[in-house]
Chain A
Amino acid sequence: MTSPVIHIVDDDVSFRTAVARLLQASGYEVALYESARQLLEKPLDLEPGCLLLDVRMPGLSGPELQARLANTENTLPIIFLTGHGDIRMSVRAIKAGAEDFLSKPVSRKTLIEAIQRALVRQEEARERNLRLGSLRALVATLTPRESEVFALIVRGKLNKQIAHELGTSERTIKAHRHAVMQKLKVASLAEAVSIAERIGILAVASGDEPGGT
């Protein structure tokens, strides 16, 4: 795995440089931006890494940049750094998904811990996403009919009920169920339900619009 890149966005050149030095000395790769706009100019090198954002900057402020990034593919965790933060500002940032909210001056320990926490979480999320992706890939191998059967099985429907619901014979459903279990590489109904839950199939049936990737 490549070493994580820390993206530092701060209009104060002195601070930007100092933090970059500290992080480099601590073994991170850094990318420096003097404004939010500069960061937005080209697509971010997505993973792994995190964003260190100054709150108060001329032009786009830190929170404004956060809002812009929320509408993109960005998965980089955001750590805010502020010269003078208040509680309201930090609550707002955290609610909007920020990983952390730190005050300048920030000690190496605090900063690195925050970065590490963010990176671990990002890694976890990445792995979760990867697993989710492979599950989705498995589910994607189901035929449309098998998908329908799968959706009903995981809701605890009996073969007979499913056959009735889909207007076919119980025997046919039995064959579909077997194929589904094989394709999803599960041995029990409990495992199948777990997959369904993780990829959000159960939620879909509660009436919401199907979503997900």
Chain B
Amino acid sequence: MRASAFNTRLLENFRLWCHKLLANMLPQLSSIANEKLCEVNRRLDTALNNMSQGLCMFDSEGRLVLCNERYIQMYRLSHDAVKPGCTIRELLALRKVCGTFQGDPYEYSTNLLARIAEGKTLRETVEALDGLVTVIVDRPIEGGGWVATFEDVTARRQLEHERDRGQKFLNTIVENAPIPIFVKEASGLRYVLVNRAGEQFWGVSRAEMIGKTSHDVFPKEEADLIAVRDQQLLRSDQPVVDEREIQTPRNGIRSIVSRRLTVCDEDGKSRYVVGVIQDVTERKLVEKRIAHMAHKLIHLNRTAIAGVLSASFAHELNQPLGAILSNAEAAEVLLTANPLNLCHLKEIIADIRRDDQRAGEIIKQVGGFLKKGDEIELQEFDLSDAVRCAFHLLDHEAVTRGVVLGVRQAKVALPVRANEVHLQQVILNLAMNGMDAMARCDPGSRKLTLETAWAGDTDAEVSVSDSGIGVPADKLERIFDALVTTKPQGTGLGLSIARTIIEIYGGKIWAENRPGGGAVFRFTLPLAKTRAA
């Protein structure tokens, strides 16, 4: 190496540069002595040649002072051609031959020298034909000349490209996802991302949202709620999924399921609130419509039952009415007698009053059974009372059909929470089915029994057992499905409605065949108070 023969000024400049660049590697350079120069140079060579960057040093005339091994490799030059003293222009010409430089060597070197003379550092990224991407930095050094470093960033570039592609890919997905997605930065809770579905959902363009807080976008009441929810989310740091109604800026009130979570940036500090929204308004409407239809069906079924029982109701009502009329007319006749038998008349009036009350009770019972109120209202009542009411409603029908109707009630109260009329309806459905099942049995053997009992510690049970023909084994499971019937004239709705009602109140319903013949239908409901209470 002829470096030792070069003037010491140049070396000193290089030393200063090296001190900056390789301070950790070569601390001993600061105390270099002339006699150790050779040793130092050797070490310098080693250090230079092990750098990952290419490195060249030029004097103020643009002549090469030194270059490292990496530079020669990077641009596929030969060791013979690259010698200290050759000019930058010659080097560029060599590289052009090797295909690692595309510009005009003269023009390039002239420009470069001019810029260096101005004391400016040059930085540029150059992409060669073979795909090699380098970052070149030309940095002037004190006293003239410059150091050029060449960093191969091809791999990094590729990674960056891939990252950019991945980012774009994700952005496309987020943008086109059919569900509203938004991101807010955690510190100021300002929107930083809103996708297209979000714009449509809120009825607000992203231009109106990005950089804004929810108070800038939403009605105050809603914005207050959002702010509170955001704070809760940030405090707990746990993802939250919940269902609620939201007042959108321009799309009215919508039902949503919102999933929100916090995420951290790469630096682990800046946090974001990410929200994904599912608009369930339509689904809710459909659910509401289905529920409404179910209610209508329940009511229709009750009307149908009442239709079947109407003869019985009329009969039952006409008993007291008939008694009242006869008593009144008897009294009229007795009033013409002389002397008046006041005791007898008083007795008659008392009877009229009693029969009038009885008629009123019957009307109340039937009216109560038919009332439109089909809300899933929860009253607490004794299940045995519902069974008793059903028994009264069925009493005459059973007599007409030659059925002996029995009732066995639990000795203690069975408090349940439901709409009592709905449960009477279930019992009537089961009972009428039972009577239908006995229609072709011997008149003396038709028995229908309603029974209430504890079922475990938490449930109450009602059973309706008949002495009829039973249920075909293959239909026991399906008999509660809509439109499944074992009767020639059955609609297949009664039991399905019974199940719907029981399930609404959290109960279970099923059918069994009795060992001695006939079927028993049972349902259970959770007790309002447990047995121990």
Instruction: State the A residues within 8 Å of B (CB).
Output: 12, 14-15, 17-19, 21-22, 24-26, 56-58, 81-84, 86, 103-108, 111
Contacts and interface: CB of A to CB of B under 8 A. Distances in A.
Contact of A25 (B314, B322, B334): B334
Given A84-B311, A105-B318, A105-B321, A56 B400 contact: yes
29 contacts: A14-B319, A15-B320, A15-B322, A15-B326, A17-B351, A18-B348, A18-B355, A19-B322, A22-B326, A22-B327, A25-B333, A56-B396, A56-B400, A83-B314, A83-B317, A83-B318, A83-B319, A84-B312, A104-B318, A104-B319, A104-B321, A105-B321, A105-B322, A105-B323, A105-B324, A105-B326, A106-B325, A107-B325, A108-B333
Interface of B: 311-312, 314-327, 329-330, 332-334, 348, 351, 354-355, 358, 396, 399-400
A199 B190 CA distance: 117
A138 to B, nearest CB: 46
B330 A21 contact: yes
Given A15-B322, A82-B315, 8 more contacts: A17-B323, A18-B326, A18-B348, A22-B327, A58-B399, A81-B322, A103-B318, A108-B329
Contacts of B334: 25
9 nearest interchain CB pairs? A83-B315, A104-B322, A18-B326, A105-B322, A83-B318, A25-B333, A84-B314, A22-B330, A21-B330
B355 A14 contact: yes
A19 B312 CA distance: 21
Contact of A107 (B315, B319, B329): B329
Contact of B323 (A14, A25, A56, A82): A14
Nearest to A54: B319
Contacts of B324: 18, 105
Contacts of B312: 84
A19 B355 CA distance: 13
The listed residue with most B CB atoms (<10 A of its CB), out of A15, A106, A107, is: A15
A7 to B, nearest CB: 16
Contacts of B333: 22, 25-26, 108
Contacts of B332: 108
Nearest to A19: B326
A108 B326 contact: yes
A194 to B, nearest CB: 45
A104 B399 CA distance: 18
Contacts of B318: 83-84, 103-105
B326 A57 contact: no
A111 B323 CA distance: 13
A207 B275 CA distance: 105
A201 B406 CA distance: 57
A15 B319 contact: yes
A84 B362 CA distance: 15
B401 to A, nearest CB: 10
A12 B362 CA distance: 15
The listed residue with most A CB atoms (<10 A of its CB), out of B315, B316, B329, B351, is: B329
A193 B290 CA distance: 84
Contacts of B351: 14, 17-18
A84 B329 contact: no
Contacts of A14: 319-320, 323, 351, 354-355, 358
A81 B321 CA distance: 13
Given A12-B319, A83-B316, A106-B325, A18 B396 contact: no
A83 B318 CA distance: 5
A22 B328 CA distance: 9
B323 to A, nearest CB: 4
B327 to A, nearest CB: 4
A84 B315 contact: yes
Contacts of B326: 15, 18-19, 21-22, 105-106, 108, 111
B358 to A, nearest CB: 7
A81 B268 CA distance: 93
A56 B98 CA distance: 119
B391 to A, nearest CB: 14
A177 to B, nearest CB: 59
Nearest to B319: A12
Given A21-B330, A25-B334, A26-B333, A106 B400 contact: no
A107 B318 CA distance: 13
Contacts of B327: 18, 21-22
A57 B398 CA distance: 10
A57 B326 CA distance: 20
B329 A83 contact: no
A105 B329 CA distance: 12
Contacts of B316: 83
Nearest to A25: B333
A149 to B, nearest CB: 55
A14 B361 CA distance: 15
